[in-house]
């Protein structure tokens, strides 16, 4: 855009220098060239304005668009696995409902996941970064073939509808989803308690063997 403006200034100076009748033909051609350049600059400016408007509209839309995702996560003591449903978008969601299609029947029936409001009738408001989690089972009761298949329906505050069908989560994939000491202080408590318990068991076993 700066180059185009500089080009227009140069053409203006050229036209100003063409003052004699002898150079009339040159000046006419220069005026035509200047007019064409002016039209080109106007077109480029219009295109740039439209692109800027589209980009700003996308940014505003992103700021108001929710994104609800499900994922599985092991507990801090690595004894159990939980189903998390979180809004990772920047916008608030409403009328969020999760439907379990099929899968881990032991958890669905025994823990009555469908009895929770999120699964039964839906949650009215789901702010950004808000999450709910539900116990699936302990790792001792989970086989490598166990999975959960679910669908999520929700709306944005502008009433735009979102739907994610047949999301399949293999439970065993989250078994190694931790690494080292948990970041959260509250999660560190069961982690260290388990570590201490394992250490005492090992010492007791060593004393028994010795």
pLDDT at 23: 52
pLDDT digits (tens, 9 = 90+) for 178-198: 545 555 555 555 555 666 666
DSSP 118-133: HHHT-EEEE-TT-EEE
* Residue, of 193 and 173, whose pLDDT is higher: 173
pLDDT at 148: 86
The C-alpha angle with vertex 76 and arms to 71 and 80, in degrees rounded to 5, equals 65
Query: Quick one: pLDDT band at residue 207, thresholds 50, 70, 90?
Result: low
How many distinct structural domains can be found in the chain? 2
In this structure, the answer to whether residues 53 and 73 fall within a common structural domain is no
pLDDT at 128 over 70: yes
pLDDT at 14: 47
Domain presence at residue 193: no
What is the C-alpha separation between 25 and 74, in angstroms, rounded?
A: 83
In this structure, the answer to whether residues 104 and 47 fall within a common structural domain is no
On whether the CB atoms of residues 66 and 89 are closer than 8 A, the answer is yes
| Segments forming the whole domain that contains residue 162 | 68-175
Instruction: Enter the pTM of the model.
Output: 0.59
On whether the CB atoms of residues 43 and 51 are closer than 8 A, the answer is no
Domain presence at residue 187: no
- Nearby residues of 12 by Cβ (< 8 Å), 6 or more positions away: 34
Domain presence at residue 205: no
pLDDT at 20 over 60: no
Average pLDDT score over the chain = 75
In this structure, the answer to whether residues 143 and 86 fall within a common structural domain is yes
pLDDT at 106 over 80: no
113: Cα within 13 Å, side-chain hemisphere: 26
Domain presence at residue 171: yes
Domain presence at residue 180: no
In this structure, the answer to whether residues 86 and 16 fall within a common structural domain is no
Domain presence at residue 102: yes
Report the CATH number at residue 111.
2.60.40
% the chain with pLDDT above 70: 60
Query: Quick one: pLDDT band at residue 2, thresholds 50, 70, 90?
Result: very low
* Residue, of 71 and 16, whose pLDDT is higher: 71
pLDDT at 170: 87
pLDDT at 60 over 70: no
pLDDT digits (tens, 9 = 90+) for 132-149: 999 888 888 888 888 888
């Amino acid at each position: 855009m700066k180059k185009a403006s500089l080009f227009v200034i140069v053409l203006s100076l050229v036209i100003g220098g063409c003052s004699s009748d002898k150079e009339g033909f040159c000046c006419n051609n220069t005026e035509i060239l200047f007019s064409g350049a002016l039209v080109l600059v106007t077109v480029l400016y219009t295109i740039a304005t439209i692109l800027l408007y589209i980009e700003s509209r996308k940014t505003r839309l992103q700021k108001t668009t929710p994104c609800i995702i499900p994922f599985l996560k092991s507990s801090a003591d690595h004894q159990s696995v939980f189903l998390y449903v979180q809004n990772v978008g920047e916008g608030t969601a409403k009328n969020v409902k999760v439907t379990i299609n099929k899968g881990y029947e032991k958890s669905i029936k025994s823990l009555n996941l469908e009895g929770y409001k999120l699964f039964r009738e839906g949650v009215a408001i789901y702010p950004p970064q808000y999450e709910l989690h539900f116990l699936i089972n302990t790792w001792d009761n989970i086989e490598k073939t166990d999975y959960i298949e679910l669908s999520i329906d929700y709306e944005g505050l502008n009433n735009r509808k979102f739907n994610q069908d047949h999301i399949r989560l293999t439970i065993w994939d989250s078994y190694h989803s931790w690494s080292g000491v948990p970041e959260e202080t509250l999660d560190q408590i069961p982690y260290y308690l388990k570590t201490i318990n394992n250490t005492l068991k090992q010492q007791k076993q060593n004393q028994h063997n010795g």
